[in-house]
Copies of this chain bind each other. A is one copy, B any other.
Amino acid sequence: MTTAHHEDRLSGQIQFILEIDKLKRVLRRNLLIDGSRRENDAEHSWHLGMLALVMAEHAEPGVNLDRVVRMLLVHDIVEIDAGDTFIYDVVAVEAQEAAERAAADRIFGLLPGDQATEFRALWDEFEARETPEARFAKALDRLAPIMANHHNEGGTWALYKVTARQVREKVAIISDGSATLGAFAVDLVETSVARGHLAP
C-alpha cells in the first residue's frame, strides 16, 4: 500500500466522520425519558447500541450481537439527508424510501470503496429485516420510543393522535425480534391504555 493510497483512505474516512456529525441535529418525534426535549438521532443510536448489549440474552440464540450493535450505530445515518419519518405516517414512510437510498449512496459513498460497501450492507440488512440480527435490531428500534412514551404519560402518542391499535402493529415487529421484549412491550402498551395515556 503506497503512502498516497493510505492518505486517500484516511481523507475519505475523516470526511465521512465529519459529515455524520450532522446526525446530532436530526430530531425525532419522541422525547427523552424525562420528557425535557426531543431526542436526536445520534443519541438515540447510542441508546439502541446500549440496549442491544444489555438485552442480548433476549435475542434468538446464536445472534451475532456485535453485528446488531454495528447495524444500530449505522441505521439512522441516511436521515441526515432524508430526515426523520414518523412511523405512523404511512404516506411519508413510502415516499421516504427513495430519499433514503439516495442518502445512503451519497453518505456511505464518502468512505473508501470497500468500507462504503460494508456500511451500506449493514444498512440494507437492517432495512430488509430478514436476518435474526436485523430483526433484533429493529425490535430495539421499535421498543425504545414505546418505553419513552410509557414514561411520559403517552408522550408523542397523545400529541400525534396515535391509537393503541397502531402501536400494537409496531409491537408485532418487536415480538418478531424477541419474544420476551415483545411481551414486555405489550405490557407497556396495555398499561398506557389502562392509565388513559393511549387511546384504545
A interface residue numbers (CB < 8 A to B): 6, 9-10, 13-14, 16-18, 20-25, 32-34, 36, 39-40, 42-43, 45-47, 49-51, 53-55, 57-58, 66, 69-70, 73-74, 111, 115, 119, 147-148, 151, 180, 184
Q: List 29 A-B contacts (CB under 8 A).
A: A6-B180, A13-B54, A13-B55, A14-B147, A17-B47, A17-B51, A17-B147, A18-B147, A21-B33, A21-B34, A21-B47, A23-B46, A24-B32, A24-B43, A25-B32, A25-B36, A42-B42, A42-B43, A42-B47, A43-B43, A43-B46, A45-B46, A46-B46, A46-B49, A46-B73, A49-B73, A50-B73, A66-B66, A69-B69
User: Within the assembled complex, what's the spacing in Å between the Cα atoms of A178 and B167?
Assistant: 47
List of B residues within 8 angstroms of A40 by Cβ: 43
Chain B CB count within 10 A is highest, among A25, A43, A74, A184, for: A43
List of B residues within 8 angstroms of A58 by Cβ: 10
Q: How many copies does the complex hold?
A: 2
B21 A54 Cβ-Cβ under 8 A: no
Known: A14-B147, A66-B66. 18 other contacts (CB 8 A): A6-B180, A13-B54, A13-B55, A17-B50, A17-B54, A17-B147, A20-B47, A21-B34, A22-B34, A23-B43, A25-B34, A25-B36, A42-B46, A46-B49, A53-B73, A53-B74, A69-B70, A69-B73
Please, which residue of chain B has its CB at the minimum distance from the CB of A118? B53
List of B residues within 8 angstroms of A55 by Cβ: 13
